[in-house]
Structure 1
Amino acid sequence: MNPKSIIKGRGAQLNVHNRFFELSHEMRDDFLEYCQKEGEQVDKNKTQYLEVFPKTIVNKVKSPDVGMAYSMNAYQGCEHGCIYCYARNTHEFWGYSAGLDFERRILVKKDAAKLLEAQLKKKSWKAYPIVMSGNTDCYQPAEQKFRITRQCLEVFLKYKHPVGIITKNSRILDDLDILKDLAKDNLIGVNISITSLSEETRRVLEPRTTTIKKRLETVKVLSDNGIPVNVMIAPIIPSINSHEILLMAKAASDSGALSIAHTIVRLNGAIGEVFSDWIKKAMPDRAEKVLHQIESCHGGQLNDSRYGTRMRGEGKIAEQINNLIKLARQQYFKDKGMPKLNCDLHEPYKAGQLKLF
């Protein structure tokens, strides 16, 4: 990628049209040329934090493919800037673009902990693991400022309720004290995402994420403290990280992970345009090859919404990837597995403390 042609520290290199808007915004070449001649800054590339006020925080997950029944997200949008992120499309529902807006306009739910507490106190609520970061990373840079994830973990601990976490940020270790307390009652499971062992690949795919070294160290620290960790080798992108599957699995196992999971990249909705634009700038020598191989995994399309096949793909390349994952599990995780979280403790704690009678 030509350093002069990119927006530093961002994955997406443009704002794509929001499908819900009739009008579109275009950055014309003549305007860019004028700004350059006048010495004016076209784009300040700053992150904005915007507070929103949802009425609820726990979402029922209807998809049969994702392995969770309930999720919650303290933030919408994610500054990590992962170019392949499936959550980009959800930013359109908030009136923003799935491109740069997703990384630079972060919606903050400051009342998340209060909303969570209200949900867990409902008489009708039956304990079932709630996954933080079902959409966007709960330990993205915004967490350092707002600490909403920590507040929510304190609620889970108070009510003895099981919780799962998905993240690719070592900042999770800031809450090691709470995680250890949750682990004492088997109330926590952590999923760490590792997409490559190459820092060069990591930097272009996930520009504002924790380094791979720190992620593996995070897996080890969590595991050493009795907190079960699953490593998400996801997404697998043909000809970008598909050759690293066995190496990533071994590194995860050596660091103490109890299992691995994976998906094959799919580029639904606006993500297809964002990713295609990015790869033609970042990896022009293999852009068409990668795009065609992704299409071959999804019936000839970048977009794949079919339950049962969208996460695992189909065709020869997808079969090779899935077979490598099976081999990795047999070789490095044969006698390992994530424990089932404890859903039996919550009911007596609905009032915030253990009932005496």
Structure 2
Amino acid sequence: MHWLITQGRHLNSVLLAFMAVAFMLGVAGALQAPTLSLFLSKEVGVTSFWVGLFYTVNAVAGIAVSMILAKRSDRTGDRRKLIIFCCLMAVANSLVFAFNRHYLTLITLGVFLAALANTTMPQIFALAREYADNSAREVVMFSSIMRAQLSLAWVIGPPLSFMLALKFGFTTMFLSAAGIFVVGALLVTFCLPSVPRVFGPENQAVAAVSGWKKPNVRRLFIASMLMWTCNTMYIIDMPLWITSVLGLPEALAGALMGTAAGLEIPAMILAGMVVKRIGKRRMMVLAVAAGVVFYGGLLLFPTRNALIVLQLFNAIFIGIVAGIGMLWFQDLMPGKAGSATTLFTNSISTGVILAGVLQGSLAQQFGHGSVYWGILVLSILALGLTCRVKDV
């Protein structure tokens, strides 16, 4: 609160606008994502294979489209216009899913519109970074508070999604998401600032060099991909593991996810407060180390109380990686905020693709316990790679 007061009235209004946009669009996304597999299996009537194929195609298309738009956004134009366009594509996507039940249409037109829509959030964070840099504000705290809005959205969105879908139907749920995206587009249009970007000779030279050609960026991308692979494998498998293997109640899965999501918010805010003294690299190493402790703890202490306590390490891991990780990408790719932010989000998408393949294969061939040994190994690899990334 002290930080908000000391930044001045103008920053407060802009920060509130960014927070509102991130929260509203986060809720809209959290309405659709949790029930998507249920929608495809129950409403569209496809088997598990086609559900999995949809997720894979959706993730691949999202990576390709977001990278193309990110490169364009870093070179020319007002970033707000691209954000508004992506919000409108999100509205169109929600309408397609609300009134269409044909798999081929959803996996083609629906996936294409979703790929455009998913570019919205990286561009909002890129605009926030540019605004903070342009106005000489505290970048890390600014971004951490915004990122906390997404965690809050994911505390609220999934229960609301299931309530709307199961009580009122999927059409109502998707129409509700469309309405929230419309509100988000209006907030972007009338409340977010337009940040002029001036490229001098030095910036032009930097922008001409692909971030992927830098060893540190490559290492961070692979490390981040492995981190999100671990997180997604855990989310996919945990409800099945605690019921079929540990014999614990199904409700515990929701309690564990809710506990972690709630703890992520203070973890993000605290990280934003201390990162200036500790540094992004040390913070990220600490976060991934907490992830290793978490996943190792799942194997060593598979009891109800221990699983709840371990969520503290899960929250430190995800809370810091989700906020500081994005900023570290931006620091390693100066002058390319859009491409850097999109590279971070694409590491998440790639991790999701890899997680689905690994979790299904390991669980089917060797049982659910093997999934957590696999996660532990991947988290240790991610820690080693993170330690090798050097600050600019």
Report the TM-score, using the length of structure 1 for normalisation.
0.26
Higher strand share: 1
Looking at secondary structure, tell me which structure has more helix per residue. Answer: 2
Q: Which has the higher contact order (CA 8 A, sep 6+)?
A: 2
